[in-house]
Amino acid sequence: MLNEDQREIRDLIRALSRERIAPRAAEIDKSSEFPWDVVELFREHDVFGIMFDEEYGGAGASALMTLVAIEEVSKVCATSGLILAVQELGSLGIKLAGSEEQKRRFLPRLASGEWLPAYALTEPGSGSDSAAMRSEARRDGEEYVLNGSKRFITNAGVAGLYLVFAKTDPGAGHAGISAFVVEADTPGFEVGRIEPKMGIKGSTTGELFFNDMRVPANNLLGEEGEGFRIAMRILDRSRPGIGAQGLGLAQGATDYALAYAKSRETMGEPIAQHQLIAATLADMETKCEAARGLLYKCGQLIDDGAEGSELRKISAMSKLYCSDVAMEVTTDAVQILGGYGYMQEYPVERMMRDAKITQIYEGTNQIQRLVIAREMVKEQRSFLLAGVG
């Protein structure tokens, strides 16, 4: 599916990942410290630019190449792959709903990597149910005053720019939600607890607090009440990024398990020659390839301008399938390594821990199944039964 130029970019990112990021992966996990050196590597090689149009300082926006980049980096370090995924997630609101003035004000600093962004939707009492959010924004002259909190926000404390959702009409449910661009140095903005986690430990996940935080009215994205629609359009395009992270983990675990199985001998031959191990490796590889086909198709559809039901369904499918494959394949990789797979000395242990979150964030896989089924119900398929008695 990739043309020659795209393969060249992929190979560059693959080389950077193997030579510069892979040697850091275990230490990032062990220290639980955000890897600013990886951010600097991405800046130096203009990796962030893949996600942005040239007129805003990028290299030419491509959803497909963004997914390829996340996949390649995640093969060696899921935390580093997530940096790229969230750069896209946190920027999409401005790309999709921002005014030209907002785009020119914010996107160049995101395209260069000067700023990392964050997407602040989830609250302690509202995850999948966005209408239950309690954060509020009240218009006061040429400003909005925001009060409330967010939880489980990726890039909390390291982002320079936050896309914050709050209710401008608390009684209107989804229709009362609005979206705001908030700079990290805004008075009244506070970062709270950074959570200790099972996996992706180098990525910050934390609380945000808004205490009479004043945001300029020209930082409102779109119109009042359009926040939920903006949030869903963002997720339709960002969920495949989590699928790419999952696919990278799965392929990285498969590659490592294969190398181990070719060198580890029992009963006088490499364990890769034993039928049960060989069958497991074959299943792992097949799942990765199937996931890649679905994911890349989704990326190409986004680049082709797909909208609505078509995009929503395949986006949910790619996130669902790739993340389920990540959990299945990394678990199989640990099993192939046996006792060694359970030890922190070997990367498949880290990969298995990292894989779990891909089934949870940016919409749990249970939610993805609901989304897919709802879109299926809307489709007209009766023609398939024509002539069947």
Chain-centre distance for alpha carbon 235:
9
| Distances 83 to 22, 39, 88, 90 between C-alpha atoms, Å | 15, 8, 9, 10
Between strands 143-154 and 136-140, the pairing is: antiparallel
* Whether 202 and 232 share a structural domain: no
Whether 251 maps to a domain, the answer reads yes
pLDDT at 352 over 80: yes
What percent of the chain shows pLDDT beyond 70? 98
258, 281 contact by CB (below 8 A):
yes
* Whether 283 and 320 share a structural domain: yes
pLDDT at 382 over 70: no
Angstrom distance (rounded) from CA 173 to CA 107: 30
* Whether 365 and 235 share a structural domain: yes
Angstrom distance (rounded) from CA 221 to CA 230: 9
Whose CA is closest to 323, among 13, 30, 63, 81?
81
Q: Count of alpha carbons within 13 Å of 277, Cβ hemisphere only?
A: 21
Report DSSP letters for 102-170, one per residue.
HHHHHHHHHHTTSS-EEEE--BTTBSS-GGG---EEEEETTEEEEEEEEEEEETTTT-SEEEEEEESST
Whether 385 maps to a domain, the answer reads no
* Whether 220 and 328 share a structural domain: no
Give the lowest-confidence range in 130-134, 242-246, 312-316, 321-325.
130-134
> Per the structure block, which two tokens stand in for 48?
């962030």
Angstrom distance (rounded) from CA 15 to CA 133: 43
* Whether 163 and 33 share a structural domain: no
* Whether 161 and 289 share a structural domain: no
Q: Residue 1 has what pLDDT?
A: 77
Q: Residue 385 has what pLDDT?
A: 62
Q: Which residues are catalytic?
A: 362
Among the three residues 225, 242, 261, which one is the final residue of a domain in this structure? 225
Give the lowest-confidence range in 121-125, 241-245, 325-329.
121-125
Confidence of residue 33 (pLDDT cuts 50, 70, 90): very high
Residue 323 domain boundaries: 228-380
Q: Residue 389 has what pLDDT?
A: 57
Confidence of residue 125 (pLDDT cuts 50, 70, 90): confident
12, 72 contact by CB (below 8 A):
no
Q: What is the CATH number of the domain that holds 103?
A: 1.10.540.10
Whose CA is closest to 316, among 385, 239, 227?
239
Angstrom distance (rounded) from CA 150 to CA 77: 27
Angstrom distance (rounded) from CA 78 to CA 199: 9
- Count of the separate structural domains present in the chain: 3
* Whether 239 and 137 share a structural domain: no
Whose CA is closest to 136, among 84, 178, 100, 198?
178
Among the three residues 93, 111, 129, which one is the final residue of a domain in this structure? 111
> Per the structure block, which two tokens stand in for 260?
């181990």
Whether 387 maps to a domain, the answer reads no
The mean pLDDT value for 345-351 works out to 97
The mean pLDDT value for 218-246 works out to 97
* Whether 91 and 133 share a structural domain: no
Whether 386 maps to a domain, the answer reads no
Sequence-distant (6+) residues with CB within 8 A of 112 are: 43, 48, 49, 57
Tell me the chain's radius of gyration from C-alpha atoms.
Answer: 22
The 8-class DSSP code of residue 379 comes to: S
pTM of the model: 0.95
> Per the structure block, which two tokens stand in for 316?
């949910």
Which residue type, as a one-letter code, is found at position 247?
L
pLDDT at 384 over 70: no
Other CB atoms within 10 Å distance of the CB of residue 323: 30
44-53 pLDDT, tens digit per residue, is 999 999 999 9
Q: Count of alpha carbons within 13 Å of 140, Cβ hemisphere only?
A: 10
Angstrom distance (rounded) from CA 364 to CA 117: 22
Angstrom distance (rounded) from CA 334 to CA 136: 46
Confidence of residue 386 (pLDDT cuts 50, 70, 90): low
The rounded mean pLDDT for the chain is 96
Between strands 117-120 and 161-167, the pairing is: parallel
Beta bridge partners of 205: 154
* Whether 49 and 129 share a structural domain: no
Report DSSP letters for 29-43, one per residue.
HHHT---HHHHHHHH
Among the three residues 79, 111, 143, which one is the final residue of a domain in this structure? 111
* Whether 128 and 99 share a structural domain: no
* Whether 104 and 124 share a structural domain: no
> Per the structure block, which two tokens stand in for 253?
């675990």
Q: What is the CATH number of the domain that holds 176?
A: 2.40.110.10
Confidence of residue 129 (pLDDT cuts 50, 70, 90): confident
